[in-house]
Amino acid sequence: MSKRRWLSTVLIFALLLSCFPLGISSAKAATPQQLRQIFDTMDKRTNGGNWYKNNNNESNILSWNQSYVMASYVTMYEATGDTYYLDRFIDHADSVLKTRDSVRGVKDYRGLSTPSWRTGGPNYDLNGQILNGQYYIMGVNTGMISYSFAEFAAIVYNTPALAKYKNKAEIYLQAAKDAVAVHDYEWVDNGSTGYYVFKKGAPYWTDGANLPHNQYLALARTQLAIYQATGDKFYYDRVEKMARLFKNNLTIDQKTGAYIWHYQWGKGLNGWTSSDNLSVNKPSYGGYKRYEDVSHGAIDVDFAYKAYKAGIVFTEEDMIRFGKTVENYLILPNGKVAQFVNGGVEAKYQIMIAHWLRISDYAPSAYPLAEKLITSLTGAGGSGMLAIAMTNLAANGGGGVIIKPQDPVENPPEQPELPVESGEIIINGGFEKNQTGWSGSLVTIKTESNGNKYLTNGYNWQAYQDLNLSAGEYKLTAKTKKLTATTQA
């Protein structure tokens, strides 16, 4: 069986698993204990609980399956307060970090090996989106995978009882920062708003165009969590700009007061002509006119809810309007879930309504329907696992761990600040603690057979520490080795 055919089979099988019956009667409301048992049972049914943690993302299996599994562990911690789920997350997160391009030593279409996860290549068609068998790092994939790393860190840094997890939180926070920074070359700042694009000339079918709402908001969600962990104004500003852009594209339905919005916006919605000189691969395009769907819309609304709780752009009035979207359009008169936020046809994967449960206080019909669907499962793919976790969260009170908003600062303190060896200014100069203390988006720490750790990088050296030095005399000691460099080293 070819890899392409195998990929299609795996994805179809994973989605179908979300729809099979479990055997708990839904005639009676499930208890929190029963809902938790459903999650724990399902968690062990795919690869013995390992899921896809050791896969790369060339087939999108990390971004659209494994990412949901990791998010489900963080959500189950929010629902139960049991650190067992944080430990489950760590087991998966450590493996996923090992699949980054910079660790594997593989490159994208630019010839760069970055701390992110490439997609595409000659073995995977991916519906023709990535062209000519090349490798591209999609912003939405980075957002989906990195989100749980940043969310873990935000929760740990804001929960004193979780101090034992701070070392892991530091590693995951840096990984999220590094992954997001890979897309800085695709960021567009319009003053009061900002967004990401598919860089013109990239091997993507609509290169040059703006990312759809769910795709730039996946990156926004990660950066919101980074801000909540650090207070760094850089991330606050970007989150605020993307939140404002999304809100500007929401339409109030005059009949119901609900929010309605399209999957795309801007050029992606309205299209372009060859005279716009926007795209190499798609010189002209009529635009994508469909409304947002229930699956991708859940990413949009999850971000909006978290931004609201952080006091960024969105208000409770907005949550009420999203709730009306669920009550008036997503849940159809026959009790089924609609495919689009303006109603219409039934969704193929009904279980996705559970991904909207952070706003369950504003959409009272959502939880009973989600519970009914959850208690009818016999198996679950990654998205199904998050659906079960979100149902657990709603059953235990709703919105999850609410991280207290903080004022953004220009130069946030290190998280956490580490002790410095006597006479040594640079923190962790020998990399014994991996990347602890070091900043930079293209950094990989490797270990020799004798246990010695060293820093390696593909192209530009971007490992640094900000040292506040006063006038004086300093000595810098460093050891280098050529390794496989073919030019200068």
Per-residue pLDDT band for 29 (boundaries 50, 70, 90) equals confident
Average pLDDT of the chain to the nearest whole number: 87
This prediction's pTM = 0.79
Are the C-beta atoms of 343 and 330 separated by less than 8 Å? yes
Per-residue pLDDT band for 476 (boundaries 50, 70, 90) equals confident
> Residue 149 and residue 29: Cα distance in Å, rounded?
33
Contacts of 262 (CB under 8 A, 6+ apart): 213, 249, 269, 288, 289, 290, 291, 292
- Per-residue model confidence (pLDDT) at position 187: 98
* Residue 12 confidence (pLDDT) above 50: no
List beta partners, residue 446.
Answer: 454
Domain boundaries, the chain: 3-395, 430-489
State mean pLDDT over 219-232.
98
- Per-residue model confidence (pLDDT) at position 397: 82
User: What percent of the chain has a predicted confidence (pLDDT) above 90?
Assistant: 73
Burial of 389 (0-12, 13-18, 19+ CB in 10 A): buried
List beta partners, residue 272.
Answer: 285
> Residue 136 and residue 464: Cα distance in Å, rounded?
27
Residue pLDDT, tens place only, 138-155? 999 999 999 999 999 999
* Residue 18 confidence (pLDDT) above 50: no
Residue 462: closest CA among 442, 445, 477: 442
Per-residue pLDDT band for 346 (boundaries 50, 70, 90) equals very high
- Per-residue model confidence (pLDDT) at position 1: 43
* Residue 23 confidence (pLDDT) above 50: no
Contacts of 409 (CB under 8 A, 6+ apart): 231, 232, 233
* Residue 472 confidence (pLDDT) above 70: no
Report the top-level CATH class of 3-395.
Answer: mainly alpha
Residue pLDDT, tens place only, 358-410? 999 999 999 999 999 999 998 899 999 999 999 999 999 866 665 666 677 76
Which has the minimum average pLDDT: 16-25, 40-49, 165-174, 380-389?
16-25
Are the C-beta atoms of 230 and 222 separated by less than 8 Å? no
What phi and psi values does residue 369 have, to the nearest 5 degrees? -70, -45
DSSP string, 224-284: HHHHHHH-BHHHHHHHHHHHHHHHHT-EE-TTT--EE-BS--HHHHH-B-GGG---SS-S-
List beta partners, residue 135.
Answer: 120
> Residue 445 and residue 433: Cα distance in Å, rounded?
10
Per-residue pLDDT band for 417 (boundaries 50, 70, 90) equals very low
State mean pLDDT over 255-272.
98
Which has the minimum average pLDDT: 109-123, 180-194, 301-315, 422-436?
422-436
